[in-house]
Every structure is written in structure tokens, then in C-alpha cells.
């Protein structure tokens, strides 16, 4: 966005083993990044100390801005909402909220305290605009607070990184892939492994790659205890380039989630020319069911059956290329152009008031 606007980013974080606050700054053209580190407090009143240190560091970071911004682009209304409101009031500048939190799932909303609900609603109401990453998440947000100025902006995908690779599609080898942080509360990766193990018994030439930057210990334990290791490979902490290559070397992406706000991995998979099996979550609500296969949540039998059907209808090279055309509307330039229009429209309304 720095080609369109002057961008300043403030990031505040506690750090152990330091005795005083310090800052790191990075500047290039229209971009200014300010990172503030403050000592991690300890003792009986450490929470109160942390709040005070955080606020002090934030105030100092604000002073380092080259100029007063015209608009604040904030991400996720909870738990940082009060800070967005504070900075907005301090700088006398409006903010927009870009929302992509799983907090708005029906499951999580049932667990909200009254205080949490009030804080979220307050932050959303005071925003100049609420931007959801998918139409589905937009509907979930409006269930909480229907009287909002709102729009949808998808997350972008880098088509220079995620693309199909021309290769020989072998009938005697088929690879399923799943990519996530392995949060079992939402992802149900155990269900994917269980379904795959059933498929593996009938099709010995298939494999499952699980790519993650999360903690895979619980999953490996589950696989070991249930003797489901055959054909399963867990790949941890890969570089972005290596993740993209893992997509290209696979045939079908599998998502078995309970809830997704957007699921950028679905778009990455499409960009890589993969077939997709998914529950109806996030952006899957808006993808043509001719290109994705929807399975019911928690239905391991249905997932296994669908995986077997995908093996029998493996894509041709032309099919893989065709899938990438669908992902073009999520390309970085396309999404950044939409964001430019959002900024311009908000600032124009601001000028007129």
C-alpha cells in the first residue's frame, strides 16, 4: 500500500531480560515501522505494571510518528479494542477495524462474558468502518451488532508464490495435503487423519502431508496411539517457499474445520491448482461447488468416502491450471486495489463531515 499511501506501523511487545524500554525503527519510502519493547514485569502487581508500561511505550511510539495519520487501520476488535479507541482519541483520528477473528464463531460467542461482549460492541460501534474478510464472517459480526457501517475485503494471495507446477500426474501416487496451525478446537485434524487411515487401507498408493507452524506433539501422539502412521507425514515450520512447494507436489487439499473466518489456505490451494475437500466454512461459502467438494462437519465417514472419490477423479494438467483462474480475484494487486478504494472512500466521507 506504500505506493498509494504513507504507511506507519506501530507494534508494542514485552521482552524478558531487558531493564528499560527501547525502540527499533525501519524506514523506506512511504513506510515507517516502529517497534517498541518494554521489560516484562514480575511480582504481585505485574498485571498493573504491564498495563502501565505498555501505555507508556505506546505513547512514546506515537511521538515517533513523522506526521499525524489521517486514518488508523486496526486489526481484530478483541482484546486490543480499547487501545485502538485510546490511540484514535489521542490522535483525534478515526479508525477502521479489519476483522478476521474466530471469536465470532457461534461456539466462541457462547463463551463470551458480558464484559467481553460490551468491549467488542463498543469497539465495533466506534469504528468508522468494519471490514470483514469474508461475507460469512460479515454475517457473524452483524449478529453481534447489526447497526454497523461494514464491507468485505478478502485476504490476498501471492500468485508469484502459489502457482501450479507442470508435472507428470501419476496414477500410482496421490497426495492429500492439510495446512494449518493445528488448533484442534477448530481444525479437527484428528478427523482428517482418521479418514485418511480408512482410505489408506483401500488405496496403498496415497499419502497425507500435514504442514504446520503449530505444536504437532498432540497430533503425533494421537497418530502413534492409534497406529495411523502409515502414509502420514507431518512437516513442521517450513519456509513460505517450502509450503508453496508442498502444495504444488500435492493433488488435493483437505480442510475439516468447525469454523473459519476466511481460510486463506483454501485460496492458496486453488492458486496451486489443487482439488479441494472442505467443510462449509469461511470463504468456502462463496466458492462454486463445482470446484470444491463440501463435506459435513465431524462426519469422518463422509470425508473418507469423498477422499476416495477424489482419488478416482484425479485432475488433468489443464484442470489444475483452470483452478488458478478462480483465485485471481484474490490476487494481491486486486485486493490492494479494493483496499485503496476503501481508504479513499472513508477519507472522503471524513472530509465531507
SS3 state of residue 253: strand
* Alpha carbon distance, N-terminus to C-terminus of the chain: 25
Residue 81 burial by Cβ neighbours in a 10 Å radius (0-12, 13-18, 19+): buried
DSSP string, 265-294: HHHHHHHTT-EEEE-S-GGGGGS-TTTEEE
Asked whether residue 165 is assigned to any structural domain, the reply reads: no
Asked whether residue 164 is assigned to any structural domain, the reply reads: no
* 266 lies in the same domain as 323: yes
* 180 lies in the same domain as 321: yes
* 233 lies in the same domain as 311: yes
Average pLDDT, the chain: 91
Asked whether residue 2 is assigned to any structural domain, the reply reads: no
Asked whether residue 163 is assigned to any structural domain, the reply reads: no
How do the residues of the chain divide into helix, strand and coil, expressed in percent and rounded to 5? 45, 20, 35
> What is the sign of the dihedral through the CA atoms of 179, 182, 185 and 191?
positive
* 228 lies in the same domain as 300: yes
* 217 lies in the same domain as 245: yes
pLDDT value, residue 269: 94
* 104 lies in the same domain as 201: no
Give the position of cell 496415497.
206
Q: Domain limits at 308?
A: 174-329
CB 202, CB 196: distance < 8 Å: no
**The pLDDT of residue 201 is above 90:** yes
pLDDT value, residue 154: 92
Asked whether residue 168 is assigned to any structural domain, the reply reads: no
Question: Which neighbouring-strand residues pair with 6?
Answer: none
SS3 state of residue 144: helix
* 147 lies in the same domain as 247: no
**φ, ψ for residue 261 (rounded to 5)?**
-75, -35
Do β-strands 232-236 and 129-132 pair in parallel, antiparallel, or remain unpaired? unpaired
pLDDT (mean) for 248-254: 94
* 107 lies in the same domain as 253: no
pLDDT (mean) for 308-312: 90
Asked whether residue 198 is assigned to any structural domain, the reply reads: yes
Task: Tell me how many domains the chain contains.
Answer: 2
pLDDT (mean) for 56-63: 96
Q: Report the C-alpha dihedral over residues 50, 56, 60, 63, rounded to 10 degrees.
A: 130
- 309 pLDDT tier (thresholds 50, 70, 90): very high
pLDDT value, residue 352: 44
* 105 lies in the same domain as 191: no
CA 100 to each of CA 137, 178, 285, 297, 334: distance values in angstroms, whole numbers, following the listed order: 8, 20, 16, 21, 19
Name which of 169-178, 204-213, 229-238 the model is least confident about.
169-178
pLDDT value, residue 321: 67
Share of the chain above pLDDT 70, in %: 93
Asked whether residue 162 is assigned to any structural domain, the reply reads: no
pLDDT (mean) for 278-306: 90
Say how far apart CA 353 and CA 348 lie, in whole Å.
Answer: 9
* 57 lies in the same domain as 130: yes
pLDDT (mean) for 141-164: 94
Asked whether residue 1 is assigned to any structural domain, the reply reads: no
- Sequence-distant contacts of 14-18: CB under 8 A, at least 24 apart: 14/38, 14/39, 14/40, 14/41, 14/50, 14/53, 14/54, 15/39, 15/40, 16/40
CATH of the domain at 132: 3.40.50.2000
* 239 lies in the same domain as 114: no
* 139 lies in the same domain as 245: no
Q: Which helix (H) or strand (E) holds 126?
A: helix 114-126
Say how far apart CA 198 and CA 200 lie, in whole Å.
Answer: 5
Amino acid at each position: 500500500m506504500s505506493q498509494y499511501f504513507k504507511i506507519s506501523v506501530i507494534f508494542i511487545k514485552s521482552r524478558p531480560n531487558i531493564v528499560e524500554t527501547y525502540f527499533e525503527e525501519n524506514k523506506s519510502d512511504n513506510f515507517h515501522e516502529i517497534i517498541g519493547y518494554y521489560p516484562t514485569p514480575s511480582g504481585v502487581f505485574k498485571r498493573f505494571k504491564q498495563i502501565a508500561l505498555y501505555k507508556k511505550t505506546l505513547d512514546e511510539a506515537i511521538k515517533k510518528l513523522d506526521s499525524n495519520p489521517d486514518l488508523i487501520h486496526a486489526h481484530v476488535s478483541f482484546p486490543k479494542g480499547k487501545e485502538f479507541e485510546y490511540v484514535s482519541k489521542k490522535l483525534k483520528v478515526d479508525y477502521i477495524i479489519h476483522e478476521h477473528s474466530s471469536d465470532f464463531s457461534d461456539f466462541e460467542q457462547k463463551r463470551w462474558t458480558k464484559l467481553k461482549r460490551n468491549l467488542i460492541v463498543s469497539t465495533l460501534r466506534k469504528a468508522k468502518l468494519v471490514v470483514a474478510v469474508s461475507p460469512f464472517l460479515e454475517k457473524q459480526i452483524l449478529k453481534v451488532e447489526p447497526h454497523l457501517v461494514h464491507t468485505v475485503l478478502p485476504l490476498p494471495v501471492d500468485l508469484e508464490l502459489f502457482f501450479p507446477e507442470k508435472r507428470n500426474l501419476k496414477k500410482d501416487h496421490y497426495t492429500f495435503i492439510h495446512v494449518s496451525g493445528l488448533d484442534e478446537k477448530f481444525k479437527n485434524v484428528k478427523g482428517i487423519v482418521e479418514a485418511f487411515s480408512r482410505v489408506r487401507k483401500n488405496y496403498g498408493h496415497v499419502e497425507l502431508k500435514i504442514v504446520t507452524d503449530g505444536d504437532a506433539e498432540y497430533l503425533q501422539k494421537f497418530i502413534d496411539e492409534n497406529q495411523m502412521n502409515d502414509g502420514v507425514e507431518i512437516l513442521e515450520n517450513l519456509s513460505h517457499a517450502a509450503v508453496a512447494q508442498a502444495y504444488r507436489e500435492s493433488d488435493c487439499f483437505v480442510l475439516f474445520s468447525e469454523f473459519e473466518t476466511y481460510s486463506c489456505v483454501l485460496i492458496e490451494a486453488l492458486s496451486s491448482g489443487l482439488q479441494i475437500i472442505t467443510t462449509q466454512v469461511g470463504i468456502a461459502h462463496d466458492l462454486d461447488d463445482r470446484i470444491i467438494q463440501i463435506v459435513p462437519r465431524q462426519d469422518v465417514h463422509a470425508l473418507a468416502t469423498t477422499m476416495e472419490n477424489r482419488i478416482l477423479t484425479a485432475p488433468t494438467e489443464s484442470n489444475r491450471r483452470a483452478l488458478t483462474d478462480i483465485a485471481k480475484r484474490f490476487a494481491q494487486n486486486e485486493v490492494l486495489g479494493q483496499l485503496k478504494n476503501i481508504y479513499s472512500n472513508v477519507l472522503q466521507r471524513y472530509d465531507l463531515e
